[in-house]
Amino acid sequence: MTIAFIGLGSMGIPMARNLMSAGFQIHGYDANPKALSVFAAHGGRPGLSAAEAAANADVVILMVVNAAQAQDVLFSDGVLDVLAPNGTVVLMATCPPGAVKSMADRVERTGRSFVDAPVSGGVAGAEAATLTIIVGASDESFQRLSPVFRALGDKLFHVGTEAGQGATVKVVNQLLCGVHIAVAAEGFALAKKVGVDPKIILEILAGSSAASWMLKDRGPRMLEEDPAVSSAVDIFVKDLGLVLDAGREAKAALPLAAAAYQMFLATSGRGEGAADDSQVIRSYNLLNQPRSSA
């Protein structure tokens, strides 16, 4: 099985490396020459273009930034045309379910297969090969790709046979994550307004039925003025944007996601999109702060 890997960023490089460690031969491409040389240094075979990397490949894995980049690679850069006639496109980037479905339709019209396989677990999961991989694909495609997925992650879920179903689950995951961060900030901001020490609140909440993974992870950083960036505000502007796109496509109302999105968006709009996502709390504090101290 020859594999082309397009998109060698902070997730893509360790994923490609884990595939090579598992014995797969990987041709790769990234528009950034520096990423491409890191890939080559790890033993990968860089292509001069996405289409050159994907020529006659059995499988092309897309780990690009978003749906627009995936569409460009497949349809404008010519990757789909050069793929083996019975080849498979595996989309692992997080994209809106509707966009995934329309890409799948266009790929399948050429007789090739499409697998919707977004991941969760971040750079740490990519490096340790402990990603959660959420797959929407036919049973046959799922079976065929399983050895590839097992080289990348240790939690593999086949959630449905249609493209877009993996993307939907990823979107629901991000819906809960984004709202859990925002509601923790909402609680701390209320406590601050009333003059209760947020450290003691965090200790109480983290041990009660109010606990969440995000409260325990982001809560301590919410209490810092300018914490180190673990994941940026703009990632949740993008991800909650995807959540709302998915709701619009499905015509499903998402009132909590919509409200949480506004708070991340306002944070980014003040020029703080590169700050740690815990700093969405600044939007709550500003919203509730008397003018003199603003």
Q: Which of 60, 67, 80, 260 binds a copy of itself (CB under 8 A)?
A: 260
170 catalytic? Reply is yes
Query: Beta-carbon neighbour count of residue 226 at 10 Å?
Result: 9
Strands 153-160 and 131-136: parallel
Half-sphere exposure of 44 (CA within 13 A, CB side): 31
Q: Which of 50, 64, 214, 237 binds a copy of itself (CB under 8 A)?
A: 214
Containing 159, the helix (H) or strand (E) segment is strand 153-160
Q: What is the DSSP letter of 272?
A: I
Q: Which of these is catalytic: 34, 101, 170, 216?
A: 170
Q: Which pair of tokens denotes residue 4?
A: 């082309």
Determine the interface stretch with a copy of itself among 2-10, 45-53, 69-77, 184-192 (rule: CB under 8 A): 184-192
Q: Give the closest residue to 83 by CA, choosing from 164, 3, 163.
A: 3
Q: Which of 209, 228, 271, 292 binds a copy of itself (CB under 8 A)?
A: 209
Query: Beta-carbon neighbour count of residue 263 at 10 Å?
Result: 23
Q: How far is the CB of 22 from a copy of itself (least distance, A)?
A: 23
Determine the interface stretch with a copy of itself among 28-36, 55-63, 138-146, 176-184 (rule: CB under 8 A): 176-184
Spatial separation of the C-alpha atoms in residues 137 and 141, rounded to whole Å: 6
Catalytic sites, residue numbers: 170
Query: Interface residues with a copy of itself (CB under 8 A)?
Result: 97, 120, 132, 134, 155, 157, 159-160, 162, 164-165, 168-169, 171-177, 179-180, 182-184, 186-191, 193-197, 200-201, 203-205, 207-215, 217, 246-247, 250-260, 262-263, 284, 287-288
